[in-house]
Each structure stands twice: as C-alpha cells, then as structure tokens.
Structure 1
Amino acid sequence: MPDLSPTTQDKILIVDDVLDNLELLSRILTRRGYAVRSVERGSEAIAIARSGWADLILLDINMPEIDGYEVCRQLKADPNTSSIPVIFLSALDQVLDKVNAFSLGGVDYITKPFQIKEVIARVTTHLQLRNLQKNLEAQVASRTNELTRALQAAKAANSAKSIFFSQITHELRTPMNAIIGFVQLMQRDESLSREHQEQLRIINHSGEHLMALINDVLEVSKIEAGLLVLEKNNFDLYRMLQGIEEMFRLKAQAKSLNFVIQRSDHVPQYVQTDEQKLRQVLINLLANAVKFTPEGQVTLRINYNLQKTNQITFEIEDTGHGITADELTTLFAPFVQTEIGRKSQSGTGLGLSISRQYVQLMGGDITVKSRVNQGSTFSFDIYIDAGQPVSSLPEQRRVIGLQPNLPAPRILVVEDRWENRQFLTQLLEMVGFRVKEAVDGQEAIKLWSSWSPNLILMDLQMPVMDGYEATQHIKRLDQSVVIIALTASKFREQKQFILSSGCDDLMNIPFNEAELWLKIAQYLKVKYIYAQSPPSLNTQLGLDNLNLESTLLAVMPSEWMQQLNYFATAANAKEILNLLEQVPDEHSGVVNAIAKLVDDFCFEQIMDLTQTTNR
C-alpha cells in the first residue's frame, strides 16, 4: 500500500481574490506539510495548472475577469489539466450553484464561511484519492500492451462505480428514511393542533422534494455508469393513469388550469413494460407542463397504433410559455434549463435528460414541438407487450393495532443508526409487536440466538459485522426466521445479490408504513386493526344532514361569510385560515373540513359553499 500522507509533493493551488482567505488557507495548509501557492486571478491559476505544478485546486467562484466556473471549464477542457481535482470554495449556497459546480467537473464544494477542520479533511481525502489514482494509472499503464489486462481493469472500474453508487445511495437515502419516518409517526398524534399538523405536512413535502432531487442525481450517475436496465412488469395502465390524474388535478386547479387526459378506446388496460420508468417520464413531463403554463390547459393524450400492435404513443400538450429554437437544441442535456426554468429557481435540469434515457430504454424517443408564448407538445412512443389482468390493490387504511387474542410476533430491528432504529421500534411497538434492537450484525446474531425473533428487519451496511454476513450466519442455522433487508440501493444487480445472500425479501428506504405492514402480513400472516376510514367530504362539512348556512350563520355574521367567499375567490389560504380561527370550538368539524379544502387547493368548492350568502 503506497504512503498517501501529505508531503511536499502534494501541491495545492489556492485561487481567491480575498487576500485574508489566501493568507489563512496558505498558512494552515503549509503547516500540514503541503506545498502551497496562492493567486488572486483565474488567468494566473490556469497558467500555473498548465505548467504542471498543481495537484489540487481550491477555487473561489466570484472573481474579477474570469470567474471560478470559467476557470474550471477551461481546466477540464484541457487534457493536461482535466484530472486535477477542483474543490469550489464559495459563499454561494444555493442548490443550483452547487449543481453547476459539480456539472463542470468539481469534485467537492465548501460553503463560506468555512470550518478549518472541514477544509483540511476534504483536501486530505481528495489528495489521497488523486495519489491513489496516480498509482493505479501507473500500474495500468505498465500493462497497456496486454489486452486481457486492460479488459480486467475496465471491469474493475465498473465494479468500483457500482460499489461507490451503492454506498453514496445508502448515505443519502438513510437519513431521509428517519426524517420521513418520524414525520409519519408524529402525524399519528391526533392531539396535535392544526398548525402543527400543517408544519408536519410541510416537513414531509420538503423531505419528499429533497428525496426527488437526490434520486435525480443518483439516476444520472447510474446512466453514466451504464447501470440503467429495463425492468418489465405486468400492470394496470388505466389505474396508473388514474393515479397521475389525481396527482395533477389539484395542482392544475390551484393555477386555474384545465387538466385533461384523453385515452383512445384501443389503448389496452393491462400491459408489460417498465411501470416505474414510464410513470416517472409522465410525471416529469406533466410537472413541467403545469409549472410553465400560467393559463389555459394541459392535455395528456394516449393512443394505440393498431397497425403496430406493440406500440403506444403518449403526448403532453400545454398552452404555456413555450421554448425558443436555440433552447430546443440542448433541451435534453443534463443540468441544462430553459430561461424560464432558470428564472423559476427550481429543479435540477435533470428531469428531461432522465426521461429521454428512460424512453430510449423502452424502445422509443422523445420529440418536442414548441412555439414561444403558444405552448409546447412533447411526444414519445414506447414498445409494450400484452399484459394479464391484475387484482385491484386493497384500500390503504392506517394500521393502529394487531387483532386481539393472538400472540404478538417478535421483531428484531438491526440498524446501526440510532434515529432509524427509534423510528422502526416506535412504529412497530405502537401497533403491538414485541421489538428488540441490535446495532450491528454480531449483536443481531446474539439476540436471534437468545430471543428467537419471528422476523428480522436487517440493515445491510453496518460496522463490526454487516447485514450480509449476519444473514448468512443466521440462515445457515435457522431457515424459519424471516429476514427482510433494508437497503437504499435500487440497482437490480444489487437486489439479486441481496436475495442470494439469504434474505427473504427487501424494502427500499425511505419506505411508507403501508409497505411495511404488507410485508409483515405476507410473511407472518398477522391481521391488523385499522383506523376508521375518513368520512366523505359532505359528511365532514355536515352537508348530509345540515346546511352550511344554518350551521355557520347561526354564530357567524353574514359579513364573515362574505369575507370567506372573497378570500376563496382570491385563493388566499392565509386569510381563510385566519377567518376560521374566529369560529367557536363547537363547530370544529366544519372548520377542519374547510381547512382540508384549503390544504388541497379546493378554493372553488369553498366558493360554491358560500355562494348562498352573496345572492
């Protein structure tokens, strides 16, 4: 193993127009044993790097003449400097700033004001990786004349990519499992005020949004690594389209847009293709259509070609801002956004790139027609196979307990992260399972031996002994215990490896409660007690047996109802909620129902309910 400790051979170039930063970083890194040079301008940095002096560059973004982005672009375009790791060091802290930095080839991003220990740790790590890379390159170069050795090196590189993406996926998705999981636990507390419930809803929505951004970046990484595969399954296309319609109907209503799905009678109900990828493509395209259409209509059309019995066509048309001819040429490039998209300051510029890759994997391609200020039409064809009828999903109701008079199953939670253990333990105990915890594979084996759990929820990446080794040990001695792996990986090859190691099943994290209860019921044959289904909207509002006017006007003046109607017309959620605080506590059912309409952006229904007082 080569010595990777800092030496004078490790040369660090610092580029920053703030002299205090240059002096501080230079002094600290010099003390650590590195050779350091500092410059204030990007042109000087490029010249020094091209001379072959720098092993790593700490690069500011906002500088005179040439900013940090352009410096990095030029360095990465030059074969002589493209391999030098660039760590951006900037006060810019927006997601798009960081995405731009990484898309240009930066290996890391540190936000000012920085912590000295953080800078040292990241510099040390990337220099170690560079030195290791140099050693590997030297070893490979010595064998370039042997074709078999070169092929083996390529396979090793692909394997390293797969391992890296698996690890980084785990590190990103695991904390999100705890965040989203604890929100689900807290939402079970019926004593929470409406304000706290709304705050939990916002946290959950924000967590899901962050998870979507993480998934986009990881999906692009999978594509670039050549790990994207088509995973066909049999599913109900009509049901999937219904779910998409429900997802976007409220979003469209909130912007006063018409949202229409037009499906040809010839479109088959049951098909075989990659359901997850098709659904994601439709969501990506429809989300853009709704976001960039200020008024008018968004239409999804689905047609089936009778002459080509295995081809189905999807078309998304909007009446939005449109796309210029220049922007159409780079529309599907990763990290590229249109001018309207950049002004919205949302998204990563990855959705269309991922969508095209998915469609091409399913045998088609995406085309787009657009006229500025008149709208856009995205179309794609994919190839499908005939499917078989599938049973409808059971109604998803909240599980609140286990059927009485039956012994409670024992479940062992094996997870090295305290927050994830707490979430699972509290959730399972809340329903009535007996639960014990283990922090690694060794402890899991001891508890399995002494406690004999019926089911084990096994994390796979843990210190001391990982979940793979623990699973193999337990399964060699006891085939009856059910082991469900908890994994952040979505690579098909990884799933096959997990199941071949002895796990009976797996769940991707973060997961929702319903999936967990279904898995446990499948293997342990338990029966649950469910919370009562929520009453219908009319029942919530008391409209089945009681007129809204008679309930509210009995205690609220007509001016109050007029204000409610006015704020609903203006879609002013904040003022509506302020008005609801004036309603006496005995009418909380009506208040909660109207608040739910506000949460779902159903302002037109509130307007209809208050029309009688304004005639």
Structure 2
Amino acid sequence: MKLPTRVKRRVRSFFQHQLRGSLIALMISVLAIGGVIYQVANQTLLEHVKSSLLYHAEFREDRIINLFEQQKAWMQKIADSAATKHSAEALFDRYHQGVESIEYQQARDTFREEYQLLLNTEEVKDLFLLTIEGELAFSLRSMEGELGVNLSTDGFYGQTILSDLIEQVVQQKRMAVSQYGKIDQVEDATVLMGVPIFSSFPGQEDQIMGIMVRPFSLVRLRDLLKSYSGLGETGEVMIAQWRNGVGSEVNFINHFRNHLQRGPSASCLTLRRNTPEKFPMMHALNYERGSGWVLDNSCNPVFAVWAWIPKLQLGMVVKQDRSEILLPLERLEREILIAGLAVLLFLIWVIRRQAHVMVRPIEELTNATAHGAFEQLEHGTIREVNDLAEALKERTDGLEQARRETELILESMDEGLVVVDQEGKIERGNPKFAHLRGESPEGLIGRAIGDLLKQGHQGKTEEAHQLLCVDGSTIPVSIARATLEVALKGHNGEVLVLHDLRALLKAERAMQANKAKDDFLASMSHELRTPLTAIIGNSEMLIAGVMKKLSNQQQEMLRSIEIAGRIQLALVNDILDLSKIEAGKLQVDQVNFDLHVLLNEIEHIFSKRADDSGINFQVRRELPLTHQLVGDSRRIEQILSNLLGNAIKFTEEGDVTLTVLLDKAEQMLHFVVKDEGIGIAQPMIKRLFQPFEQADHTISHRFGGTGLGLHISCTLAEMMEGEITVESILGEGSTFELLLPYRESVIVLDQKHHLSDAEAHQQQFSGKVLLAEDTPELQTIVTFILESFGVTVTLAKNGQEAVAFASKQPFDLILMDMRMPIMDGIEATQILRGRGYKKPIIAHTANVMKKHLEQFVQAGSDDVLAKPIDQNELRRILKKYLSPIESPVKESPVEKSTVQELPKPAAVAAAEFEVSDELRQIFIDRLQELVVVLRQSLSAQKWDQLHDAAHAIKGSGTLYDQPQLTHAGKVVCDALDAENLDHIDQQVQHLLEEVNAVL
C-alpha cells in the first residue's frame, strides 16, 4: 500500500513558536472569559426580564380581578337592597300595563331619577331591567323603540352575549358575567354583568321577578392595562377570549400598544393560522401558564409571560420586544470587545518581552552545543535552561562513552557484523567477520556482500549461507538482517549479523545422536523386559510349584535363573535411570509411606539372598515412629537395595547389617549398611560414585557389575536432599550411610498391619481382576502370579474384549497391557474412562520411559506395573486397590473367558502340573495361528494386522530363545513402521520360513 506523502512543515524559530502559542492561548482565554461573561449576563438578564414580567402579570391580574369583584359586588348590593326590589316591582307592575301607559312612564322616570346619582357615581352608562322572559322593561339610556323587545335566544336578536347571560342567570339564579362581545343595545363591544332580582313578597323570596344587567366598565379596565410602568418602551399587557368558543378566532379585549405601527402582514396571518403554538395568547386561552421567547400578534419576536384567569374566563399575556430586552447585551458586547482588545494588546507587549528573555539563553545554548563549547557557557537566569545545558553536557559525554562502548562491543562480538549500503557494498565490518573471512577489516570496505556469500543476497529476515573465506574454504553461517533507520550516504542501508553455524550443527548432530540413544533405550527396555517377564515369572512359578521335586543341583540351577533375570532387570533399570540423569529428567516423589513396610520388604528379599550366599543378614530398627513418613519410598528402596546388594556381593563370609536410626534433634534418618567384606582402599573411594566405575578394575572380573548403582544412588540421595557417606578399611569391610531428611506425615501408623516377612509375602487379597494381555505365554504367567495372591482372574486378548468385559460385569481392578492388537490399552482405557468407568486401571507395560508413562496417565491409568512383574510391586498394587483377607492362602479359580480358558495352576491345584510343557505347547499353537494371520493380512494388504502378527512372533521368539524369529519379526515391523513396502513380500516370506523351521 502506497503511503501518503508527508507534508513538510514550515520551520519557525523558538521565539515565533513561543509568541504564537502565547497569543493563541491569550486570545482563547480572552474569548472564553468574554463568552462566559456574555452568557452569564444573558442568562441574568433573561431571568430579570422573566421575573419582572411575572411580577407585572401577577400585579395586573390582581387589579383586573379586583375591578371585576368591585363591580360585581356593587351589582349584587343594588340587586339585594329592599329599595331596589320595591322600585323594580313597581316598575315591572307598570310595565305589564303597557309601556305606553302614563303609570309606566312615571314609574320609569321615578326609577331613573332615584338611581341616576348612584349610577353616575359608579360611572354606569347603561343599566337594563329585563323580565324573566328576557323582555326589556327598562334602560338607563332612552331607547323607546327597544322597550318590550324579547332579548332572549327566542327573541328578535337571537343568540347574543346578552341572551346567553339571561339564560345563565335564570338557570343558576345568581350573578353571571358574559363573554366579551357586541350587542345593539350598547354602543361598544363590552362584557355584561347580570344579577337576578328576587321577589320581596313573603313566601316568594326565591322567585326571580326580573334581571338587572349592566355593561362592565371597560374604560377603567383599559386604563388599568394602559399603565405601562416597568414595561419599557415595547412592553404591554393583553387580555382576550375566544370569539365563538374554544379554538375559534381570538378576540382581544384591549388595544395593542403600538397597533398603528405594527399591523400583521399577510405572511404573519398565515403563520398565525398554521403555527398558533408560536403565539402566547393561544397558550393562555388553552388554560396554560408559562414564559419564553415567542411571537406577538404582529409576528415580532418577544419574551412573554402568559396565564389563564379562570374567574373571568380570560387569557392574559405580558410581553416585551426582543430588541428592547437585548439592548443591554449589545452594549455589553461592545464593552467586552473594547476591554478584550485593550487587555490583549497589553499582554502581547508583555509576552513579546518575556519571549525575548526566554529565547536568548536557548540561542546561547544552541551555539555552545553546535561548537562543543559547554565549558565556556555561563549559566543564565532561567533555571530550566541551566538544567538543560547540564543535561546536554552529560548526554553528550554519555553518547561519546556509548560510542566507545559500541566500538568495543562490535570488536568483541562472537558474531560477524557488517553494515552495507543500498547496493550491498560493505561500509563497515567488525573484527569477527574479518576473522571469519581471513582478512583485515579495512580490506572489507567497498566489497559487495553478495560476492562473499555462496548464495545470493535474497533479503530474508534470516537465512543460511556459506561464507567464502580467503583460503577458499567455506563456513556455514546464518544471517539476520535489519534495515537501518538512518541513511547511509543518502540511501537506506542494512545491518547483517552472521552467526557461525559450525558449533550449532555439531550440537544438532549431538542432539540427534542423543535422540537416537533415547529411542534405543526405549526399544531396548521393551525388548529386554518382555523376555525377562518370562524368565523371572517362569522361575517363580517353578520355585513355587515343583521345587520339592527337584534335586539340590536342579534347585540351585533354578535359583540362578531367577537371580540372573533379576540382575538383568536391575541392569536395564540402571541404564534407564542413567539416561534420565543425563537428560535431567529423573524425578522423585513426595508421598506418604510406611517405613516399616518398606523395611519388611527389604528384609524379605535380602534374607533369602544372604542365605544363598552363606552369610548372616540382619535389620536393626531403632525407630520410635508413630506416623508414616513423607518421601519417595520406591527410590529409598532402590538405594538400599543397591547398597545391600553390593554388601552381600562383596562379603564372602561374615555379617551384613542394616541399621535404621532416627536423629530427632537433626531431623534426619540414618540408614547404615555395614558389611565384613573385602573393603575398599582409600584412594579408590573417590571413584566409587562415578558412572561405570568400581574400586578396582579387577573387581568387575571377579564379582561382576557395571558400576552404575552407586552413581545413581548418590544422585537420588542428593535429589531427596540427603547424601551417602562411606567408610572402609581394606580387608575388613565397609560402612555406607544414607542420610535423608525426616519428614513426618499426618497419618498415624496402624500397628496391626506391621506384618512379618512371611505374613507379608503370604498375604492374600479378595477381588476380581480383569487381565488384558495378548501374549498367551504372559497370560499364563501373570494369571499364575495373580492367583497366588488369591484373586479371581478373567482374561481378555485385546483392548476391545477388555472394554466389552468391563462394560458387562464389575471388576475390582483391570491390569491392562498397553500394546495389543485390534485395540491397544491406551485406547481401551480412554474409552472406559469416557464411559464413566471409575474402578482402578493399571498399565502393564515394558515401556517405562517417561514419555510413555505420561501417555498412560493421560489416558486415565491409575498406576503403572512394569514388565517383568516384580511381585513386591504387584503386592503393593493389590494392597493399594484391593481388600486383604486374613487367611494366608486362598485359592481363586480362573473365570471362564470367551477369549481363552486356561487350566488351573499346578502350584495351587496339584504338583503334577508342568509349567514348561504347557507354555511350550501354547508357543507352538500360537505360532500356527500367527502363520495364518500373516498370510491372510499380506494377501489383503491389511498392514496393521500384519504388524501385530509380526510383533507377536518377535516377542515369542525372545521368550523362547529363538533369536532368528525375533530378528525376522523385527525386520517386518521396522519396514511397516517406516511405511517401506518395497520388499515387504520377501521379508514376510523369510519370517514364514523361520516360523516353519521352528514348527
């Protein structure tokens, strides 16, 4: 995307910036202050006008109401007086005789003479007496032609304000006031007031004999409204009514103040019709009270206050023209403008002088900076400029120091660095780059960087190249690039950092070799543990079942097989532990454990070994323990087993003792292993804890061993915050002491469960165990061992069958092989956990590398039991998840399985059972089944089935000492794992030939 062109700003001096900024700030301040003053004045003025108009409105409303009330009170007083009633009765009587009669004329003249003075006093120009039917019976002014005329609605004039008044007085029988309007009997438009005259005859007091009507004195009302005091030149008060009912045309009662000069235009009349809400009288006649900016009757803007007078049914408006109201504000505007200009001119003069005072030291500082003459610069009167001068001096000194440090960094860099221009020519190079090239830094200047690299200058962020050296050799380098933010000779440049990859490539090869070693150890562990399972398992089965039938020599041979298998298993474990130590992945746990149980197991194992070696072995416990401990019991047992194994191995006669002490003061546990063996020379003791080292090279020839055990034990002790010490006298014996921190658990020891060695190893458990194992030989061996612990066993050949069995019937524990055909143990475990299966699942595997163990735990396994089976470890598993039973031995028949039904173990049922014969027949039957699977899966190209069959043959070959089967099966498995099918037919054929040879 094309960036927009950057506008070049005009450069100004600091003085100009300071002056302009100050002036702008002052102008904004003056305008803001003036605006605030104006707004406050405007608001204050409007509030004053509003309050003034409200006052005049209330004042005039009171005066108008008082005037009406006075005239109404006078009318009521006249109508209620006995003299008036008597005179009116006489007049009405004579009226009924006829208006032409002498009696009526005399009565009329008498009434007029009697009340003329009173009426003149009240300025009453007209007064009418009407019959109850509405006929005119008397008028103050002479109007002979109107006498006797019916003035009601039914009369000659029809509906008028007088007819409406007559109707109200007759119906309500009280005084009433008419609307403003005009009648023929009165010269000008007026408001009429009517009052009933009641009869004075006894018993007829509530009967109306006539009506007295008089016009309201509008002259006095208008004179009242024409008083414009406090309303200025344009203010006025207007009252009005609807002309012909609500919503009709407005009928103003008084005249406008300037009506001659302010008549409404045609557009104004249209505006009054279309938008009546803009005119205040409309609001007043709609019974509203309020104030605001509106239009008067001539459509001029005014500020008005309007109100409805309910007693008189009148709307009132008090208003004043906008021009007159805002006249003080206009004068204020001029005054503010003049004062603001004066202040501004004065401040400009002040700011200009101040700007000169501020700029002068800055100019001096600029000159001193440009010429580097900070020492000659004198401090001025402005503290900030003085501080700036000091900061610039310190910064300049710092930049010079940084430049020198940068030069040193570039010279000492372990990577090559070059700066190139836009054309790729070297502007600068550090000594490391020159050293890699084999020439001086000066010789690099001007050279094209592309000529020094085997690959082209591709412009990537980081890439691999071959740097061409002066002697013709090449060095693999990686290049990191960065564009310079400053220009080189007017163009953008680049910084290139070249890293020598020779050490990195060497490290990568070492990592690959280490990975290959880990893969080898994982494979070796699996391949060795599988046959060791059969060796140790078969040995234990034979020892348990047929030992009494063998001769002493045969018994010794059988024990040697078991011991050799366990030694081989210990070697595998040591190699794996050593690999973990080198990779930094060896870990120790912190869990609760019973130290007495651990010591019982140690005592049981090494008592037998000591008896076989003809030496005395004893465990001494000086432990006043009340609680379990916290630590890694498995690793503690591993260390003690190594120390005791060495003690027994290097003691040909005498005693070996394990003493366990508790130092509560130091909070340390002491495990002391003392033997009376060959001892160690002092110079050799330091070599004991090195890997693959022994005290004397001749020892390995005489006693065997790899020299790994003590190194691993020492590392484990240090990881548990402890140590191993050794004291030895050559020819007399050695003492190894393991010191570990004493950490007491909150769990109290149960003394009832401290079993003796014999009881511990004869302990039985109740429960149903599902064994998922695909190898028939291991099915037999593991079933035999499990049954020896008293549990009931159900067999499944693969994970799919294990899932089916576990879904149909309850099991207390599942022992799950992790590598099986059709469905492996990991997938089966995941399925069961996904279905909510809660019972414990134990991973039974020969893969004991950390990454494999993590996979088993993630799948949902509760624990791991390594192959070959260690009966002590199996006992721990059973004790943890099953319930123990009291009887020392309990026979548990194998449950019938649809997978395979095995015979009852001979060691439990009868001494005549020959394990080796049964296993051998199982081996033959299994091979015959696998031959069929090999042929069918190869023909159908079902590579997964082919792989499972070859893997099974490979494992069986290892168990039964048939290395040719193991090798041929491994070749097929490796080819399938690598997806290399080019020679798979020949490889499978070779495997079939080897199987047939065995069969």
Q: TM-score, with normalisation over the residues of structure 2?
A: 0.33
Query: Equivalent residue for 1:437?
Result: 796
Deviations 1:561-609 (A, max 9, x none): xxxxxxxxxxxxxxxxxxxxxxxxxxxxxxxxxxxxxxxxxxxxxxxxx
User: Quick one: which of 230, 240, 256 aligns to 2:598?
Assistant: 240
Query: Equivalent residue for 1:604?
Result: none
Bigger CA drift: 152-161 or 272-281?
Answer: 152-161
Could you say if the C-alpha distance between residues 199 and 479 of structure 1 is closer, same or farther in structure 2, counting changes exceeding 3 Å? same
Query: Equivalent residue for 2:686?
Result: 329
Query: Equivalent residue for 1:389?
Result: 748
Distance 1:422 1:253 in 2: 30
Query: Equivalent residue for 2:404?
Result: none
CA contact (8 A) 2:518 2:579 kept: no
- Give the Å deviation of 1:180: 2.4
CA contact (8 A) 1:317 1:375 kept: yes
Query: Are 2:659 and 1:283 aligned?
Result: no
Distance 1:412 1:242 in 2: 29
User: Quick one: which of 322, 326, 338 aligns to 2:695?
Assistant: 338
- Give the Å deviation of 1:336: 1.5
Could you say if the C-alpha distance between residues 478 and 281 of structure 1 is closer, same or farther in structure 2, counting changes exceeding 3 Å? closer
Could you say if the C-alpha distance between residues 530 and 146 of structure 1 is closer, same or farther in structure 2, counting changes exceeding 3 Å? farther
Distance 1:273 1:140 in 2: 50
Distance 1:139 1:462 in 2: 47
Deviations 1:256-289 (A, max 9, x none): 7565655556777742222222222223223323
CA contact (8 A) 1:414 1:444 kept: yes
Q: Amino acid of the residue matched to residue 179 of structure 1?
A: I
Higher-Rg structure is 2
Distance 2:534 2:844 in 1: 13
User: Quick one: which of 830, 837, 849 aligns to 1:472?
Assistant: 830
Query: Equivalent residue for 2:716?
Result: 358
Could you say if the C-alpha distance between residues 274 and 468 of structure 1 is closer, same or farther in structure 2, counting changes exceeding 3 Å? same
CA contact (8 A) 1:267 1:303 kept: no
Report the 3-state secondary structure (helix = DSSP H, G, I; strand = E; otherwise coil) of the residue aligned with 2:670: strand
Distance 2:890 2:804 in 1: 40
Query: Equivalent residue for 1:174?
Result: 530
Report the 3-state secondary structure (helix = DSSP H, G, I; strand = E; otherwise coil) of the residue aligned with 2:728: strand
Distance 1:335 1:402 in 2: 45
CA contact (8 A) 2:815 2:843 kept: yes
Query: Equivalent residue for 1:120?
Result: none
Query: Equivalent residue for 1:314?
Result: 671
- Give the Å deviation of 1:357: 1.0
1:120-159 correspondence runs (5 A): none
Report how many aligned residue pairs link the two structures.
Answer: 386
- Give the Å deviation of 1:229: 0.8
Percent identity, aligned pairs only, is 34
Could you say if the C-alpha distance between residues 158 and 497 of structure 1 is closer, same or farther in structure 2, counting changes exceeding 3 Å? farther
CA contact (8 A) 1:238 1:269 kept: no
Deviations 1:226-249 (A, max 9, x none): 221111232333443454445445
- Give the Å deviation of 1:462: 3.8
Q: Amino acid of the residue matched to residue 174 of structure 1?
A: T
- Give the Å deviation of 1:208: 1.9
- Give the Å deviation of 1:221: 1.8
Could you say if the C-alpha distance between residues 159 and 412 of structure 1 is closer, same or farther in structure 2, counting changes exceeding 3 Å? farther
Could you say if the C-alpha distance between residues 199 and 382 of structure 1 is closer, same or farther in structure 2, counting changes exceeding 3 Å? same
Larger relative CO (CA 8 A, sep 6+): 1 or 2? 1
Query: Are 2:563 and 1:212 aligned?
Result: no
User: Quick one: which of 452, 459, 483 aligns to 2:841?
Assistant: 483
Query: Equivalent residue for 2:191?
Result: none
Could you say if the C-alpha distance between residues 384 and 307 of structure 1 is closer, same or farther in structure 2, counting changes exceeding 3 Å? closer
CA contact (8 A) 2:617 2:657 kept: yes
Query: Equivalent residue for 2:549?
Result: 193
CA contact (8 A) 1:472 1:501 kept: yes
Query: Are 2:725 and 1:367 aligned?
Result: yes
Distance 1:320 1:526 in 2: 40
Distance 1:173 1:358 in 2: 23
Deviations 1:290-329 (A, max 9, x none): 33334554444444444422x2333334443332244223
Could you say if the C-alpha distance between residues 284 and 142 of structure 1 is closer, same or farther in structure 2, counting changes exceeding 3 Å? farther
Distance 2:863 2:809 in 1: 19
Distance 2:784 2:655 in 1: 46
- Give the Å deviation of 1:385: 0.8
CA contact (8 A) 2:714 2:724 kept: yes
1:381-530 correspondence runs (5 A): 381-387=739-745, 388-391=747-750, 392=753, 395-396=759-760, 412-424=770-782, 433=792, 435-439=794-798, 441=799, 444=802, 454=811, 456-462=814-820, 465-477=823-835, 479=837, 483-490=841-848, 494-512=852-870
Report the 3-state secondary structure (helix = DSSP H, G, I; strand = E; otherwise coil) of the residue aligned with 2:525: helix
CA contact (8 A) 1:331 1:338 kept: yes
Query: Are 2:632 and 1:274 aligned?
Result: yes
Query: Equivalent residue for 1:98?
Result: none
- Give the Å deviation of 1:498: 1.9
- Give the Å deviation of 1:211: 1.5
CA contact (8 A) 1:236 1:389 kept: no
CA contact (8 A) 1:458 1:467 kept: yes
CA contact (8 A) 1:235 1:271 kept: yes
Distance 2:622 2:791 in 1: 48
Could you say if the C-alpha distance between residues 432 and 292 of structure 1 is closer, same or farther in structure 2, counting changes exceeding 3 Å? closer
Could you say if the C-alpha distance between residues 446 and 163 of structure 1 is closer, same or farther in structure 2, counting changes exceeding 3 Å? farther
Could you say if the C-alpha distance between residues 359 and 448 of structure 1 is closer, same or farther in structure 2, counting changes exceeding 3 Å? closer
1:157-168 correspondence runs (5 A): 165-168=521-524
Q: Amino acid of the residue matched to residue 644 of structure 2?
A: L
Distance 2:787 2:597 in 1: 34
Could you say if the C-alpha distance between residues 252 and 371 of structure 1 is closer, same or farther in structure 2, counting changes exceeding 3 Å? same
Could you say if the C-alpha distance between residues 417 and 287 of structure 1 is closer, same or farther in structure 2, counting changes exceeding 3 Å? same
CA contact (8 A) 2:779 2:795 kept: no
CA contact (8 A) 1:312 1:384 kept: yes
Query: Equivalent residue for 1:556?
Result: none
CA contact (8 A) 2:591 2:632 kept: yes
Distance 1:487 1:238 in 2: 29
Q: Amino acid of the residue matched to residue 349 of structure 1?
A: G
Query: Equivalent residue for 1:35?
Result: none
Structure 1 vs Structure 2 CA RMSD: 4.8
Query: Equivalent residue for 2:463?
Result: none
Deviations 1:484-515 (A, max 9, x none): 32123556675454233123443232225676
Query: Equivalent residue for 2:126?
Result: none
Distance 1:237 1:299 in 2: 17
- Give the Å deviation of 1:518: 7.6
Could you say if the C-alpha distance between residues 236 and 436 of structure 1 is closer, same or farther in structure 2, counting changes exceeding 3 Å? closer
Q: Amino acid of the residue matched to residue 692 of structure 2?
A: F
Could you say if the C-alpha distance between residues 234 and 145 of structure 1 is closer, same or farther in structure 2, counting changes exceeding 3 Å? farther
- What are the ranges of 5 or more consecutive residues in structure 1 without an aligned counterpart? 1-137, 404-408, 534-615
Could you say if the C-alpha distance between residues 364 and 524 of structure 1 is closer, same or farther in structure 2, counting changes exceeding 3 Å? closer
Report the 3-state secondary structure (helix = DSSP H, G, I; strand = E; otherwise coil) of the residue aligned with 1:531: coil
Distance 1:140 1:526 in 2: 67
Could you say if the C-alpha distance between residues 338 and 497 of structure 1 is closer, same or farther in structure 2, counting changes exceeding 3 Å? same
CA contact (8 A) 2:765 2:884 kept: no
